[in-house]
Amino acid sequence: MSRLFVRTLRDDPADAEVPSHRWLVRAGYIRRVAPGIYSWLPLGLKVLQKVETVVREEMVAMGAQEVHFPALLPREPFEATNRWSDYGANLFRLQDRRGNDMLLGPTHEEIFTLTVKDMYNSYKDLPLSLFQIQTKYRDEARPRAGVLRGREFVMKDSYSFDIDDEGLNASYQAHRDAYVRIFDRLGLEYVIVSAMAGAMGGSASEEFLAVAANGEDTFVRSPGGYAANVEAVRIAVPDALPIEDAPAIAVVDTPLASSIAAVVDLLNAEHAQDHPWTADQMLKNLVFLVTHPDGTSEPLAIGVPGDRGVDAKRLEAAFEPSVALPFTAEDFEKYPSLKVGFMGPVTATGEAVLGEESTSGIRYVVDPRVVTGTHWVSGANTVGQHLSGVTVGRDFTPDGVLDVADVREGDPAPDGSGPMQLARGIEMGHIFQLGRRYAEALGLKVLDRNGKLVTVTMGSYGVGVSRAVAAVAEATCDDKGLSWPLALAPYQVQILATGKDASVFEEADRIAAALSERGGLDVLVDDRKASPGVKFADGEILGMPIIVVVGRGLVDGVVEVRNRATGERREVAVADAVSAVLELAGR
């Protein structure tokens, strides 16, 4: 410890948002160089390397082959797949000395596809899974929480290549199984949730989320086992109702009521019915401008039940790489038929105002709950008026369905198993069935059994390796510092030699040597000239799972063995110290 390049800090870093970030910095595991860009100091690097080893072992065990591709990449392949523009500001772009456009790879689908195309040409060569553990770059708008969301980070990315869908399913499942083993070995509590494929394209996709109160991702779970990232939730869709049961349209004067709540209050006050009016009987209409990566844009109106809003993350995921932003006052000026606060699909006289075939011409999509035969209170497209009884399939027909409304704790699960729970997590792994998008864009074809050229189908799979260090720290740290599981700790044992007597230091070294020799353990001896208090506190901050105190007790022939995670302590005879530690370490 007296030679180790580490210093613990008394104060939290100013930008620390979550405990793992605070402790990794305070314990001297990582150091910030720029926003979202960190150095790994000796202790942090040891944990990172242990995570890498777990990931590498499991990838090799599933039959994937390791390669290492460059981080600095030419523009052309990313142009062919549109990712040069689709990635937007998240992509680090640069030019080399000859003015060639280049980028820092956010993931490597293109280059793997081209390399396989370059080398393989027959179905006999497949299936193939390649992986790398490599540094990735994304110019995040909001890098946060230390290495939890960085701009330079270590990722295991792998890619599978198959001749057909059945092969892709098998490769996907093999990765899924390997990921289960990886995250089990990392000791993380995690859930596997359905996910959106996002800018990656493709179809089936699942995320491995470490359950964490400070996680950036929200997910839902049902009693029956349904689990999905909130972006990917497909809500329970009610059955259509018979149109003939719907009431007629009626005009309701709502002179001052331009909010849902105000309309509900007014209805209950002036148009009381058997059951009180509630917000979920209202139709809330919102208008967005959807801007595409090529700079073109188009308006879009979304109708959702009045008790819900549009969830920003779900909306973002639905349109990625395009961006949907709420209409500004300026945007509204271009559509005089839209009356803010009083918008709706139709007027009192039955004229369509929202929809591709309407006076505004604005495409109109609705929440899945706005199903045929349901009737709603909606704006009348006249200031000061609403309409009741506006019925789907009779008074208007939406242009489509879009599932982006808020998801709430207690919403019915799509598997019908009951109310959904909401929780938060950290995305640790993501597996995608890419399908043929990349192979088609880049021309990766092989000869099939019949000598016919067919496009290869691909999968893409990622594990956040540096992020895993933070996720494990987040799951295991407490209010005193880090607390590593044995499998990932930089050292399994830290021996605190306290006091000034030379015998204390000698005994510490002797125990360390014995642990290393007999148990193959990595042992850190705190041999500094520092007070016992400093050593105790640093020991807790650094978080080695087993702490041995060799100090005052030594004159009585005892040392103390502590379990960092549980706080358990026991005194053991010096002669038994080594075996007590080996037992605790499971050796």
The residues that touch its own copies, with contacts defined as CB under 8 A, are 3-7, 28, 31, 33-34, 37-42, 45, 48, 63, 65-74, 89-90, 92-94, 96-97, 100, 102, 104, 111, 115, 118-120, 128, 130, 135, 137, 139, 141, 151-152
Which CB atom, from 102 or from 323, has the smaller least distance to its own copies?
Answer: 102
d(CA 59, CA 159): 11
Q: What are phi and psi of 40, to 5 degrees?
A: -100, 115
- Name the pairing type of β-strands 400-401 and 363-366: parallel
Alpha helices in 271-326 (DSSP H): 312-319
Minimum separation from the CB atom of position 122 to its own copies (A): 11
Minimum separation from the CB atom of position 2 to its own copies (A): 9
Which CB atom, from 220 or from 541, has the smaller least distance to its own copies?
Answer: 541
Containing 63, the helix (H) or strand (E) segment is none
Token pair listed for 85: 């523009």
Token pair listed for 449: 């059994």
- Residue 172's beta-bridge partner residues? none
d(CA 227, CA 195): 9
Q: What are phi and psi of 175, to 5 degrees?
A: -65, -45
Q: CB of 43 within 8 A of CB of 482? A: no
Minimum separation from the CB atom of position 159 to its own copies (A): 11
**Position of tokens 């009192």?**
348
Minimum separation from the CB atom of position 328 to its own copies (A): 23
Minimum separation from the CB atom of position 554 to its own copies (A): 26
Q: What distances in angstroms separate CA 315 from CA 216, 395, 515, one per listed residue?
A: 16, 27, 55
Minimum separation from the CB atom of position 10 to its own copies (A): 14
Which CB atom, from 45 or from 170, has the smaller least distance to its own copies?
Answer: 45
Q: CB of 212 within 8 A of CB of 224? A: no
Minimum separation from the CB atom of position 157 to its own copies (A): 13
**Contact partners, residue 240, CB within 8 Å, separation at least 6:** 371, 372, 373, 393
Which CB atom, from 31 or from 449, has the smaller least distance to its own copies?
Answer: 31
Minimum separation from the CB atom of position 168 to its own copies (A): 18
Minimum separation from the CB atom of position 458 to its own copies (A): 15
Which CB atom, from 32 or from 292, has the smaller least distance to its own copies?
Answer: 32
Q: CB of 317 within 8 A of CB of 231? A: yes
Which CB atom, from 132 or from 218, has the smaller least distance to its own copies?
Answer: 132
Which CB atom, from 55 or from 209, has the smaller least distance to its own copies?
Answer: 55
Token pair listed for 460: 């893409």
Minimum separation from the CB atom of position 32 to its own copies (A): 10
Which CB atom, from 92 or from 376, has the smaller least distance to its own copies?
Answer: 92
d(CA 198, CA 195): 9
Minimum separation from the CB atom of position 528 to its own copies (A): 10
Minimum separation from the CB atom of position 345 to its own copies (A): 39
Could you give the strand order of the β-sheet that contains 523-526, starting from the edge strand earlier in sequence? 523-526, 493-497, 546-550, 558-563, 569-573
Which CB atom, from 68 or from 275, has the smaller least distance to its own copies?
Answer: 68
- Residue 542's beta-bridge partner residues? none
Cα of 21 vs its chain's centroid, Å = 17
Which CB atom, from 92 or from 190, has the smaller least distance to its own copies?
Answer: 92
**Contact partners, residue 224, CB within 8 Å, separation at least 6:** 413, 415, 416, 417, 418
Which CB atom, from 465 or from 482, has the smaller least distance to its own copies?
Answer: 465
**Contact partners, residue 97, CB within 8 Å, separation at least 6:** none
Which CB atom, from 115 or from 579, has the smaller least distance to its own copies?
Answer: 115
Token pair listed for 286: 């919102």
Beta-carbon count within 10 A of 511 CB = 22
Written in H, E and C, the secondary structure of 127-184 is: CEEEEEEEEEECCCCCCECHHHECCEEEEEEEEEEECCHHHHHHHHHHHHHHHHHHHH
